Structures are given as C-alpha cells and as structure tokens.
Amino acid sequence: MPPKVRFAPSPTGYLHVGNVRAALVNWLFARHQSIIGAGGHFLLRIDDTDAGRSKAEYTAAIEEDLRWLGLDWDSEAHQSQRFERYRIAAEKLRAASRLYPCYETPEELDVQRKMLAGRGQPPIYNRAALKLTDEQKKKYEAAGRKPHYRFLLGDEEITWDDLIRGTTHFKATHMSDPVLLREDGVPVYTLASVVDDGELGITHVIRGEDHVSNTAVQVQLYKALDFAVPQFAHMALLKTKEGELSKRLGGNDIRALREAGILPMAVNSLLARIGTSDAVEAFLELRPLAEGFDFKKFGRAPANYDVAELEKLNEKLLHQLPFAAVKDRLAGMDETFWLSVRGNLKTLAEAQQWWDILHGDVSADLNHEERTFLRSTIEKLPPAPWNETTWDAWIAAIKPTTQRKGKELFMPLRLALTGQGHGPEMKKLLPLLGHEKVVERLKI
C-alpha cells in the first residue's frame, strides 16, 4: 500500500521548532515517496482527547502555522471524533484478557515507586491488580474508587528494525504494563494512537527518540488489536545551548519566529538538514529538500538547533527574494524600496523599520561643526531626477569644498538622512528620500 505518515500534535499550545521538525520530516518523506512514484500520503491528526486542555484556537493556530511553512496535508483526523473506535478496541482487549482494571490511587502508586527506588529496583508496576478477587473489586468501587485500565504486556523480547536507529530491542519484563484508559474512561495516547494508526492505514511512524519506549509497548498493542505494525523511524532530539528543547523554551515557538520576521523557508531549510549528513543550505522552496530525503542521512547524535544559524539562513534568503514573494507582508511598500533594502536585512520585520526611516522623522546626535557642514552640502545636491549615481556625484561635488574625507565626510550625511550609522547603501536610499526630504533633514 502507498506509504502514509501522520503528524499528530496536541492542541494544548502553539507549535515549537521540535514539533515542526517532526511535521517537516514526515511531510518530506511523504512527498519524496510521491516524487519517486510511490504515492506518499501526509495525514494531519489532531490529538485532542484531553478536553480540558485542548482548545479550538490552538487547532486553528497549528493549521495556520503548517500552511505558513508550506506543509499541506492530504487528509485530517481528530481524535475527539473517534472515541467510539477506542471503546471498541478496549472491549476487544478485555475479551482477550489483555486489559485489566487497577484501583490504586496516584498516591499509592507513588509510594510503590519510591519503595522500589529505595531498593535500587526499576519502577515497574507489580501487577497487584491481577490478584484482586471480584469481592475486593466491589469493595473498592463501593468506596468510590474508579478503576484505570492497564494493558497486559506479553513476556517476550520486542524487536523492530528502526529506519534511523537500526535494530532495536526491548524486554517486556523491564517495562510496566501501560495505562490505556484513565479513571474517567478517556483513552490515553498509547491506545488512541495505535487504533488510529491501524484503522487509518499509517505505514510509517516518524517521531522523536523520546518515544522509543512507547514504541516497544505499541508494537505489542498493534499485534493484540490485529493491526499491521508500521515501520518506525526515531529521530535524535533537538538540542539548544540551554539543553533539550521544550515548549517552555522562550523564542522557539513558530509564532514568535514568524512575528520576528523569520521566513518559513529559513525554518524549513534548517530543520530539514540539522542532524543529517547534508550541509545546511538556504532553500527557496521545499521540493529540493523532498527530492534529497533519505533516512540513511540521519545521525544518532542530538541535532543542534541554533537561532543564530537560523538568522543567517534567513538573511541569505531575504537577500534573494523577489518582491512578489514578500509583497503581501509589506503593506504599502513598493518593489523599488524592497530591492533597495533587502540586501541589508536580517529579518523581514526590519523592512518596516527602514520604511519608517524613509517616510517618518529621524534624529541624529551631531555637534555644531557637523551641522554647519551638513547645511553647506545642500547647494551641492545634483538636480533631479535622482538615481543610484546621484550619491557618488554629490560626494564628488562636496569633497573639493571641505577638508573632510572618508568616514568623517559621509557619516554625518548618513546620520542626518537616516538616523542610522549603518544599513542599506546610501546610493540606493537617496533617490527614495527625494530632494525635498533630503534638504529638510540636512537643515537640522
């Protein structure tokens, strides 16, 4: 069957770069399969079983951010609409004696874990609930306790051929029977995800290596529910200078990067290549990244995410972008302005700053001698129309009338006209300012 993958975010917050990397790698794999004629399919699955924390605004934000990145999806599913499917799957596990009720409270389970830790033993559930009689269960329920349900793991070595990690082994006896249903009957991720993968035809599960232990459990669960076990690829996690990336790491959510003027292809270019044997490059579109996709290129070491590297990529892309690619985000700005300033921008947001400099008011900290010099240059201004040769012609006319040269000559002019000691070339800015505004600013 055609390869089919899924990106499965929980709508409990905004996407951060770790989420986006998972989405991007899944998308690139699916599109690579389509390019080679295998018919790849990318499913967006919203994991919204937690009604208390899931919000429609976050679902909308996830979809908006994916569209901004250019990551379109072929189909969409919402777990909140599939509870009946999870209930049927749970009944099947009960009938096979693979799902059993447990009545321990969180506090009691915490005591058990601490006792095991004190003895130097792993925190594995002791399966005490399997020994409860029907009478004991009735007493618990009469006392108001509602059971949660655990999946009975089979005593075997669990093995799969991971597309990144290679052959991976887990001993079931080294793991706790996982909880599949909470006390309120809501399925947890482990069950819901397996049912969705099985029923929706997911052939490849691509995610972070923090899910490896989940995979070991889910391999048995797929089989218990008579689903085909998909192929797995577990990526090494992203790392920053502060440590492992998380939603709480400020500045790394996609909305913040977007608002700061970072381009979507800067994000895609970086996240598609870090952690692989391919060099990080600035790409203007996604297709070349999809064409070159290969799991063999992924390494096992943590992928280093560096905002400084993202900013450098962003600069390279900005300096290449035609006006048509950015005009929708440059309200009121024209192509001549864009082509004049793009070579000096670090983020798209800086374009607005230069637009305001050219059309608003500026101030410069200049002494009396510098102000006198500036006023003396007015009569040397070339006649209109102005173009990119006008600045050099003006400087050439000023030089014979002053002892100033180099930075001492042109810096007071730049400061008076822009309020900035650096930025786009003055030969490009001068025509945008125009004669009237230049004279006005030289008279300070």
State the fold for domain 361-442: Arc Repressor Mutant, subunit A (1.10.10)
Query: 210 and 237 in contact (C-beta within 8 Å)?
Result: yes
Task: Tell me the two tokens of residue 34.
Answer: 């389509």
User: How remote is the C-alpha of 239 from its chain's centroid?
Assistant: 13
Euclidean distance between CA atoms 318 and 148, whole angstroms: 54
Tell me the chain's radius of gyration from C-alpha atoms.
31
- Length in residues, the chain: 444
Four-residue CA torsion sign, 401, 406, 409, 410: positive
pLDDT for residue 329 = 86
DSSP letters spanning 40-104:
-EEEEEE----TTT--HHHHHHHHHHHHHHT---SEEEEGGG-HHHHHHHHHHHHHTT-EEEE--
Pick among 3.30.70.100, 1.10.3720.10, 3.90.800.10, 3.40.50.12170: CATH of 85-181:
3.90.800.10
User: Minimal CA–CA distance to 417: which of 336, 361, 373?
Assistant: 361
Domain 243-325 sits in CATH at 1.10.1160.10
Helix-strand-coil percent breakdown of the chain, rounded to 5?
Answer: 50, 15, 35
> Per the omega criterion (within 30 degrees of 0), is the bond before 122 cis?
no
pLDDT tens per residue across span 273-309: 999 999 999 999 999 999 999 999 999 999 999 988 9
- 245: phi then psi, degrees, rounded to nearest 5: -70, 145
User: How remote is the C-alpha of 311 from its chain's centroid?
Assistant: 15
pTM: 0.88
pLDDT for residue 349 = 87
Provide the percentage of residues in the chain whose pLDDT is more than 70: 98
Q: What is the mean pLDDT of residues 245-263?
A: 74
DSSP letters spanning 272-339:
HHTTBSSPP---SSSHHHHHT--GGGB-SSPEE--HHHHHHHHHHHHTT--GGGTGGGSTT--HHHHH
User: Domain 4-77+189-239 is classified in which CATH homologous superfamily?
Assistant: HUPs (3.40.50.620)
pLDDT for residue 243 = 63
pLDDT for residue 245 = 60
Q: What is the mean pLDDT of residues 131-141?
A: 95
pLDDT tens per residue across span 366-419: 999 999 999 999 999 999 899 999 999 999 999 999 999 999 999 999 999 999
Given pLDDT bands bounded at 50, 70 and 90, which one contains residue 248? very low
Q: Which helix (H) or strand (E) holds 166?
A: strand 166-171
pLDDT tens per residue across span 16-70: 999 999 999 999 999 999 999 999 999 999 999 999 999 999 999 999 999 999 9
Euclidean distance between CA atoms 174 and 179, whole angstroms: 16
Task: Tell me the two tokens of residue 361.
Answer: 């008011």
Given pLDDT bands bounded at 50, 70 and 90, which one contains residue 189? very high
Strand pairing report for 303-304 and 238-240: parallel
Q: What is the mean pLDDT of residues 130-149?
A: 95
pLDDT for residue 251 = 58
Secondary structure, 3-state, 206-250: EEEHHHHHHHHHHHHHHHHCCCCCCEEEEECCEEECCEECCCCCC
- The b-or-e profile of 265-289 (16+ CB within 10 A means b, else e) is bbbbbbbbbbbbeeebebbeebeeb
Classify burial at 197, counting beta carbons within 10 Å of its beta carbon; exposed 0-12, middle 13-18, buried 19 or more: buried
User: How remote is the C-alpha of 283 from its chain's centroid?
Assistant: 17
pLDDT for residue 241 = 73
Domain ranges of the chain: 4-77+189-239, 85-181, 243-325, 361-442
